[in-house]
Amino acid sequence: MGVEMRTGKFTGRTLLAVAASCLIVGIMITASLNLVPLTKATTTQLWTERRESGPFSSSQISDSKIWVRLAKELTPSVVNISTTQVIKGRNMRFHSPFGEDDPFNEFFKRFFGDQPKQFKSTSLGSGFIINKDGHILTNNHVVENATEISVKLGDGREFKAKVIGRDPKTDIALIKIEATNLPVIPFGDSERLEVGEPVMAIGNPFGLNQTVTTGIVSAKGRFIGEGPYDNFIQTDASINRGNSGGPLINTSGEAVGINTAIFSPTGGSIGIGFAIPIDMAKEVLPQLKDRGNVTRGWLGVAIQQITPELAKTFGLKQPNGALVSDVVDGSPAEHAGVKQGDVIVEFDGKKVKSSTELPHVVASTPVGKEVTMKVIRDGAEQALQVKVGELKEEQLAAMTPSSPKSKLGIDVQQLNPALSRKFGLKDEKGVVITAVEPDSPAEAAGLQPGDLILEINRTKVTTVNQVRKALEKTLPDEPTVVLVKRDGNTRYVVIRDEG
């Protein structure tokens, strides 16, 4: 499977999922988890939690041997995960260079024939044992599409593993081996983690088993463009390829994160690593164990971040909340009366400070629950009653904190007063291109920020959702015909996706 390249907010640079490649050939949701802190794992509980009064209390931070003692106790619970994936390739056939009539074609067919249509790829990652009966927590990208998973324990024993459940949206996976009385790493409370707090990363970078590095929490709540549920812990503890799925440990000996990605222009660690908060794993693990996937709540709005300029335009005292740029037809939001231009400031009693917070809050609300949502409309606060729907795969795009770049390489937003002023589109309505990705099909076709999209493939579009749907209907090998308006003039543009 190899190292997965990821690009998001870091334009022109590289974000790496830290699973190491050895060979490359070619929010759920419960209203309450009702957890009881334990000191040992039990067969009735999926994971364990340790109180702060445990043997590695944070009060011992002055102890110079704390990392030594933690490493000795916890490294046996960190495992090396090796996966094999069958990659389907194109059928290759040898021919004579002199054409079909060459008599040597029979020779090529007899001795070479059709080459195999598939080959194998292997990769390495990390994981850690969360209960004594063999459940292991890791990243989804470590085991995704794997046809075979092998787990090597710290004591050298090796087991075949099976996937219990995966959640690509949070990059969390639960696997299991058939073993008992295994050492475990308890879960901590990532919400209480503080910037500047010392942490330790354990994993298998480049296949080097049970490597330990230390650092601090550099930041919390990082949004790096990986998806609508981004809420990463940033750390300067050295994380490299192969660390994916390993634990980030606090001074109490508890896992507070799952090491997932690094920001690196070179491919190696430069002290900027990212871990999934363990509290997010607590939300999805029960569903992964019981049903293999995660069911999430759905609202049905496209939202964007509120800038100080937008806050002034919409009559807000502070640039807080999530600005609704589009409402999905037939969605819970539409039924509740949500309108474009509404600013969502509270959902089910939870304050919404930014657009990055809303998707997680909605996703973690039980499907079918009726909640109160507060919005600012025309400078006044209103309370709306919303019945939360169930998020389907095709509905995820409507939840993203900003308009996602399409395969054509454009960002689009619903035209609002601030964008109208920015691009000089007075008295216009509809969807405007706000960014064009360098070297993209859209740039090659001559599209520019400020272009107003009127039609896609001869279909009139006036909302972001209509643009998205029109693009989704375009077949991979077909060009996209876009009617745009620029400087008062309209013209058709043909965009060919070379990818």
Q: Can you tell me the mean pLDDT for 259-283? A: 86
pLDDT of amino acid 26: 31
pLDDT of amino acid 316: 86
Q: Give CA–CA dist 200/19, Å, rounded.
A: 18
Q: Give CA–CA dist 279/47, Å, rounded.
A: 12
pLDDT beyond 80 at 31 = no
Closest of 324, 371, 366 to residue 343, by C-alpha: 324
Share of the chain above pLDDT 90, in %: 41
Annotated catalytic residue within 244, 355, 403, 406: 244
For 330, 336, 337, 374, 378, the CA distances from 382, given in Å and listed in that order, are 21, 12, 11, 6, 10
Annotated catalytic residue within 133, 135, 141, 342: 141
Q: Give CA–CA dist 214/64, Å, rounded.
A: 13
- pLDDT confidence bin for 397, thresholds 50/70/90: very low
For 100, 457, 485, 486, the CA distances from 489, given in Å and listed in that order, are 53, 19, 5, 5
Mean pLDDT check: name the lowest of 39-48, 183-192, 217-226: 39-48
Q: Give CA–CA dist 146/159, Å, rounded.
A: 15
Burial grade of 409 (CB within 10 A; 0-12, 13-18, 19 or more): buried
pLDDT tens for each residue of 169-220: 899 999 999 999 999 999 999 999 999 999 999 999 988 888 999 999 999 9
Mean pLDDT (the chain, rounded): 80
Q: Could you count the other beta carbons within 10 Å of the beta carbon of residue 412?
A: 26
Q: Can you tell me the mean pLDDT for 147-160? A: 93
Q: Could you count the other beta carbons within 10 Å of the beta carbon of residue 398?
A: 22
Q: Give CA–CA dist 33/119, Å, rounded.
A: 43
Annotated catalytic residue within 171, 279, 451, 497: 171
Query: What one-character-per-residue DSSP string does 425-456 give?
Result: -TT--SEEEEEE-TTSHHHHTT--TTPEEEEE
For this structure, is 325 an active site residue? no
The C-alpha angle 125, 126, 131, rounded to 5 degrees, equals 145
pLDDT of amino acid 282: 93
Q: Give CA–CA dist 432/295, Å, rounded.
A: 33
pLDDT of amino acid 221: 86
Please tell me which residue, 117 or 392, carries the higher pLDDT value.
392
pLDDT tens for each residue of 329-375: 889 999 999 998 899 999 999 999 988 889 889 988 989 999 999 99
Which part of the chain has CATH 2.30.42.10? 297-399, 410-495
Q: Give CA–CA dist 105/94, Å, rounded.
A: 8
CATH of segment(s) 297-399: 2.30.42.10
Please tell me which residue, 62 or 130, carries the higher pLDDT value.
130
Mean pLDDT check: name the lowest of 17-21, 56-60, 357-361, 442-446: 56-60
pLDDT of amino acid 101: 59
pLDDT beyond 90 at 386 = yes
pLDDT beyond 90 at 467 = no
For this structure, is 141 an active site residue? yes
pLDDT of amino acid 212: 95
Share of the chain above pLDDT 70, in %: 76
Contacts of 95 (CB under 8 A, 6+ apart): 105, 108
pLDDT of amino acid 109: 61
Which part of the chain has CATH 2.40.10.120? 5-82+124-290
CATH of segment(s) 5-82+124-290: 2.40.10.120
pLDDT of amino acid 206: 87
Cβ atoms of 419 and 319 closer than 8 Å: no
pLDDT of amino acid 233: 94
For this structure, is 123 an active site residue? no
pLDDT of amino acid 48: 86
pLDDT beyond 70 at 154 = yes
Please tell me which residue, 494 or 477, carries the higher pLDDT value.
494
pLDDT beyond 60 at 400 = no
Please tell me which residue, 324 or 247, carries the higher pLDDT value.
247
Q: Indicate the class that CATH gives domain 410-495.
A: mainly beta
Closest of 372, 171, 395 to residue 298, by C-alpha: 395
Q: Can you tell me the mean pLDDT for 413-437? A: 85
Q: Can you tell me the mean pLDDT for 72-94? A: 79
